[in-house]
Each structure stands twice: as C-alpha cells, then as structure tokens.
C-alpha cells in the first residue's frame, strides 16, 4: 500500500509516522507541502505544527499548494488521516466538521492518555473492540474540539465519533475541554479520519504502548 505523508514547515512527526507505516510494510514517502500532485492509497497529514499556527492552527497551511491534491484525493474516494495538527487542517479545510479551541487550561499538554473506542464500524479502528481502552500519547495546545448541538447530533446519528478521552477504567477524563470528551471523528463516508492523539508515537512496546499500531493497521488492510 502506498502512503504519502505531507510535510509542512514545523511538522515534527513525519518521520515517526513514516516509521510506523514502514513497520506495517507500506511503501511510504514524505511529500513537501509545495508539491501539487499526490499518488497514494492513503494520505496522512502528520502532527506537529505548521507555518501560520500563531494566527490559528492550520489557518495558513490550508492554502499550501498540496492541499488541492489532498482535497482531490478525498473527492476521488481516497483515504485520508489527519493526526493532531493534521486533524486541525482537516477541520480548516471543511473536510471534517467542527473547530478547535485552545485547551481549557491554556497550557500545552504532552503525556500518555487513555482513549475509549466509541465506534469500530470503520476501516481505521476495525481491529479495535468497541469500548476498548487504548493508551496513546497526546501533545497539543489547541485540542479542545468544538461543534454545535446540531453538528454533534449529526455526528452521533452517523456514527462518526471514533474516540473519547477517558481514564484507565474507561470513565470520562477530559484533558482539554473537548465537547463530550471527543478525541477523534470521521466523515460520513468513513474515509476521512481525524484525531488529536498520536498513534504513530505508540507503535512499539519499548515506547510504552503499541496500541497505535493496532489503529494504523486498520487503514492498510
């Protein structure tokens, strides 16, 4: 499977992401944000930062030349994954609903955090059990996901909520203020996925968890 990982000025997880998909046996390549064409089965907008984040996360990145190729890939039915800053980009592009606010404590958070699988009726989480507890790192300053009541109801009706923040026992533990403790969502077609946690940082037990590998494996099978 061909995986293209988009690199922006400030991205700092592209090599981690490539390593994760290399472990899974994928043909991976890192694409500079000024490229105008992408040839891949899966496109990943990796985590980190992007130029212009000081205005609003991904506010400038969405105008990069590569973004038209990203949009075309999605329109043509390709799979698309946005991790952390990449999730923020998908929201800015309107490929996923909602928006991001600053964390409620106004501080950058970087630590392992537990997640509950809200839905596995999608390619991304097909190897996870519903209500399974995963241990995945988070690292963000603007991960407070917001969507209005109508939008939230639509997410629920279409089974688009993928992950919720929780403690090790599965009880809600919200680190950033996200609406209903949402950590990840998908679009209605279940081909576009966005999450704030970093599965690529949890792909080997030596790192503390390999739960992220189980998540990413779903996208290539």
pLDDT reading at 122 higher than 90: yes
Contact status, residue 162 vs residue 91, Cβ threshold 8 Å: no
Rounded Cα–Cα distance for residues 38 and 31 (Å): 8
Rounded Cα–Cα distance for residues 104 and 146 (Å): 12
Selected catalytic residue, list 26, 186, 198, 203: 198
Catalytic annotation present for 198: yes
**Residues ≥6 apart with Cβ < 8 Å to 185:** 96, 97, 98, 145, 155, 160, 161, 162, 193, 194, 195
pLDDT in tens, 163-188: 999 999 999 999 999 999 999 999 99
Selected catalytic residue, list 14, 92, 142, 200: 200
End-to-end Cα separation, the chain, in angstroms: 9
Rounded Cα–Cα distance for residues 91 and 89 (Å): 5
- Is the pTM higher than 0.85? The answer reads yes
Selected catalytic residue, list 13, 84, 166, 203: 84
- DSSP alpha helix (H) spans, the chain: 14-23, 66-75, 85-93, 149-157, 211-220
Catalytic annotation present for 221: no
Catalytic annotation present for 84: yes
Q: What is the pLDDT of residue 155?
A: 98
pLDDT in tens, 52-69: 777 788 888 889 999 999
């Amino acid at each position: 499977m061909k995986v293209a990982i988009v690199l922006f000025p400030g991205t700092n997880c592209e090599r981690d992401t490539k390593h994760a998909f290399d472990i899974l046996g994928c043909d991976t390549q890192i694409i500079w944000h000024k490229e105008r064409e992408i040839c891949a089965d899966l496109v990943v907008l990796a985590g980190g930062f992007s130029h212009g984040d000081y205005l609003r996360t991904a506010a400038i990145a969405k105008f990069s030349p590569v973004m038209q190729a990203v949009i075309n890939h999605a329109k043509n039915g390709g799979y698309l994954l946005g991790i952390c800053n990449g999730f923020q980009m998908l929201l800015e592009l309107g490929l996923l609903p909602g928006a991001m606010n600053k964390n409620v404590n106004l501080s950058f958070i970087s630590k392992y955090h537990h997640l509950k699988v809200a839905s596995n009726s999608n390619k991304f989480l097909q190897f996870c059990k519903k209500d399974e507890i995963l241990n995945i790192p988070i690292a963000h300053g603007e991960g407070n996901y917001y969507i209005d009541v109508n939008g939230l109801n639509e997410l629920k009706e279409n089974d688009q909520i993928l992950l919720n923040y929780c403690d090790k026992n599965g009880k809600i533990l919200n680190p950033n203020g996200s609406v209903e403790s949402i950590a990840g969502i998908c679009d209605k077609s279940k081909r576009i996925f966005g999450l704030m946690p970093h599965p690529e940082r949890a792909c080997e037990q030596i790192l503390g968890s390999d739960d992220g590998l189980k998540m990413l494996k779903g996208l290539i099978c």
